[in-house]
Structure 1
Amino acid sequence: MSSFIEFFSDIIAGELDIYVITFTLVASMVILLFLSFPMVVPLAVGALIGLIHFSGIDTGVVIQQMITGISPNALIAVPMFILAADIMTRGHTANNLLGLIQAFIGHLRGGLPITACISCTLFGSVSGSTQATVVSVGQIMRPRLLQAGYKDSFVMALIINASDIAFLIPPSIGLILYGTLANTSVGELFIAGIGPGILLAIMFSAYCYFYSVLQGDSITLVEKASFKERVTAFKKALIPLGFPALIVGGIYSGAVTPTEAASFSVLYAIIVECFVYRQLGLKDVIDAALSTGLITAVVFILVGMGQAFSWYISFEQIPQDLLAPLNLEDASKEYILFVIALSFFVGCMFVDSLVVLVILTPIFVPIVDAAGLDPVLVGVMITLQMAIGSATPPFGCDIFTAIAIFNKPYMEVIRGTLPFILILFTMSALLIFFPDIALLLRDLAFSD
């Protein structure tokens, strides 16, 4: 007991090596996580360790840093997009978008899984949430794919990984938070995420086609839709397609900011689901608002505590000391992007992606600035790693969402994920060596 007290006395006196302080910080957070404390608690403990170590600093600094973390105006868009997604998830939007895709390509070889992939991409442009996409598209498409003869392991892996495109296609909550943390234009990030998102959807679709060809006659093709059915499907989906047009078109043209687009998206969602489709009533909108309030509170508390934690590790210069052996200051841009991608991928495998974003972004921002890397490219790369981590064992959040809605065991859900993860890794490599995949549209949209 006396040695334990002496150890913390050394922390207070500031006499311990930075690596010992770092080990204490990490060990404390890991232990709290294994004890099932919510992530906010380990982050708070990290910040408090800083106050103990720097005993002369006013304890009000933690509160100040928390307020600073949630003060940026860009964060106003977060609850708005969450609310719009919740309203549309409860209504007919997902079903109508899916019906449009299936009417045109569902009868082709690999048409059904490609329909699921493109539907995830389109619904991602509506919801900005991978988990909402898993629930909405997965509940509709999984029974159809199973009936057509596809293996359940392939179906679940497809839905989990295709839903991750929602991280890249605007409105992406991850891009908004990165833009806030790295002081980067959210509008530019939104436009830059479109290219990689579309390319990823194409790569997944190609895999679905070849997988279906290899399965041969075990796959049953659905009946080709008539011209009348296609026209009907198009009419039903025309209004939901206005949602991504409102966001992307508005930002691309400069008519609205991302925050204004978020506000319009809520109004659009209410008009579509309550007055056009007449699917939802006042009670449904209130329930969606209450759910949004709960989710937003969790996100903002996380961001606030993350800011306090980031302040501490920056004050201690822990990032500089830990990254010094990697010699990133003199490294190539490709090597720096690789290190960033690897760090975020590993982190997101074990911890919620938003937590990793809040913790690691302030560590790499100075390195990115010093290397002359485009912060928009880095933001897209980081968001892609968040997408990969959310579908990767052991703790990808989309995996547990699928377990809950499909009522399947863990090992069965992750069995078919490897090919999709390899495709996502390929996408990461392409971004490192061909950055114009992300930056071309951004440069076109925001060129002087």
Structure 2
Amino acid sequence: MTLVAITFAILLVMGMPVAFVMGISGLMFFLGQETLTFTIPVQLTVTQTQNFAMLAIPMFIFAGNLMNQTGITKHLLKLASVLTGHMRAGLSQTTCVLSALMGGVSSSAIGDASMQSRIFQPTMEEKKYSKGFGAGSVAFSSIITPIIPPGTGLILYGTIGEVSIGRLFAAGIIPGIIMTITMMAAVNFTARKLNMPPEREKRASNSEIFKTAIECIWALLFPIFLFIGMRTGFFTPSEAGAFTAVYTVVIGIFAYKELTWEKFKHAIDITVIDVGMIMLLICFSGALSYGLTWESVPQSIMSFLFGITSSPILIMTLIIVFLLIAGMFVDSTVLILLLTPMLVPVAREIGVDPIHFGLVMILTLTCGLLTPPVGVCMYVVCTIYDCSIGQYVRESKYLWMAVIFAIIVILLVPQLSLWLPELIFSRKF
């Protein structure tokens, strides 16, 4: 495995696309093995796509892209603005609420950051928002999106780690709400430091909130339909993705009447690119994952951690620190594919529920999207806001504190993640 690790590091530093880095590193493992035939990596590359649960990924991505073309995003933005417009830095508060509402729509932090930057940047510039604060509020709020169901990261983790995807979806709701509240508190604290006024003089009336919520009712009902269908066994996670795509088309045509043939084709074009990128990573990860398992890397990690401490909390802390550092250099999707087979057995061994561990892992890895040197969300918002990395980092310090605080709370109180899955999936009706 030493040769594999060196190959992986060199190719990554050279800037080779990560999918090919994983594929070549996996091949290097088999080149050094006399007992394994060279046909295995070819078979593994193909069989990675044969998992029925993987169908959920393209379906949910397609549904998310469709929702952005049907007017659902526009209605959710209006609701978020009505709910938060009376607060200081109301536009930044709106990004937090919109990201929470968008969790069931886009399921992608990068997509959310890109979309919201283009929506809010002109208005924030007009309102004299600091570039670093505006970019930071959009970037940091975007990491709420992947843990609100149906996040793609949760589907990948559940499929590879053989963990219930339905339970993972349910587990993400309360941590997502906690992330939203802590992020809004950090935005409010920063706004007071900068003496930023609210966007509107007084809170929206109950009737205005109710009227706006009714306009968004089809988007708000979607997660409810999703959980009812999965809880009752009406459909599997993969079938849930197909249901979501059909649901979105129907709403776009008959409810909001904004889905045209051109928008539908555009959603397909974007989906093909997104799915192609993710599935290439999944295919080429097969040989490398097989090599890690063959060499008993999960067991080695477990032995190493138990050699340092036997405390589950300290072991989890070490894992989180490792994930935060790894996320700064490698894309979160790649790390989920690589690390899930290694770390899920460790979590089970120390008595940590894999559902709880999955939420902590996905949230921690997603933080890598916010940091140099490869933080995609960071680069997206800084480019659109014409903001330097230094200014973005300086003016996001309170947002970072909020993220770290939320991770610590979610880690130390497992029931925040486990209570809802137990309520929905364990109770007999």
Task: Give yes or no for TM over 0.5.
Answer: yes
Provide the residue aligned with 1:219 in structure 2. 197
Unaligned runs of 5+ in 1: 1-20
Provide the residue aligned with 2:343 in structure 1. 364
**What is the SS of the residue equivalent to 1:327?**
helix
Shift of 1:305: 1.6
Cα distance, 1:202–1:416 mapped onto 2, change above 3 Å: same
Q: Give the AA of the match of 1:245.
A: I
Provide the residue aligned with 1:350 in structure 2. 329
Cα distance, 1:309–1:254 mapped onto 2, change above 3 Å: same
Provide the residue aligned with 1:288 in structure 2. 267
**Partners of 1:333 and 1:86 in 2: how far apart?**
40
Contact 2:157/2:336 (8 A) holds in 1:
yes
Cα distance, 1:212–1:410 mapped onto 2, change above 3 Å: closer
1:131-179, Cα deviation, whole Å (9 max, x unpaired)? 2211223322333344444322111111111110111100110000000
**Partners of 2:395 and 2:228 in 1: how far apart?**
36
Contact 2:136/2:392 (8 A) holds in 1:
yes
Which residue, out of 9, 13, 29, partners 1:34? 13
Provide the residue aligned with 2:226 in structure 1. 247
Q: Does 1:76 align with 2:27?
A: no
Shift of 1:215: 2.9
How many residue pairs match? The answer is: 426
**Partners of 1:372 and 1:232 in 2: how far apart?**
47
Taking only aligned residues, the RMSD between alpha carbons, in angstroms, comes to: 2.3
Provide the residue aligned with 1:9 in structure 2. none
Which residue, out of 339, 342, 354, partners 1:375? 354
**Partners of 1:37 and 1:208 in 2: how far apart?**
37
Provide the residue aligned with 1:164 in structure 2. 143
Unaligned runs of 5+ in 2: none
Which residue, out of 56, 76, 92, partners 2:71? 92
**Partners of 1:190 and 1:197 in 2: how far apart?**
11
Contact 1:250/1:256 (8 A) holds in 2:
yes
Cα distance, 1:220–1:339 mapped onto 2, change above 3 Å: closer
Q: Does 1:58 align with 2:28?
A: no
Cα distance, 1:268–1:302 mapped onto 2, change above 3 Å: same
Which residue, out of 144, 159, 180, partners 2:123? 144
Q: What is the TM-score normalised by the length of structure 1?
A: 0.88
**What is the SS of the residue equivalent to 1:274?**
helix
Which residue, out of 125, 138, 141, partners 2:104? 125
Identity among equivalent positions (%) equals 28
Contact 1:126/1:244 (8 A) holds in 2:
no
Provide the residue aligned with 1:393 in structure 2. 372
Cα distance, 1:83–1:429 mapped onto 2, change above 3 Å: same
**What is the SS of the residue equivalent to 1:126?**
coil
Contact 2:75/2:216 (8 A) holds in 1:
yes
Structure 1, 221-230 or 421-430: larger mean CA deviation: 221-230
Which residue, out of 263, 278, 296, partners 1:317? 296
Q: Give the AA of the match of 1:273.
A: G
Cα distance, 1:320–1:263 mapped onto 2, change above 3 Å: same
Contact 1:149/1:219 (8 A) holds in 2:
no
Q: Give the AA of the match of 1:236.
A: E
**What is the SS of the residue equivalent to 1:90?**
coil
Contact 2:154/2:358 (8 A) holds in 1:
yes
Larger Rg: 1
**What is the SS of the residue equivalent to 1:70?**
helix
Cα distance, 1:402–1:79 mapped onto 2, change above 3 Å: same
Q: Give the AA of the match of 1:294.
A: I
Cα distance, 1:226–1:381 mapped onto 2, change above 3 Å: closer
**What is the SS of the residue equivalent to 2:328?**
helix
Provide the residue aligned with 1:267 in structure 2. 246
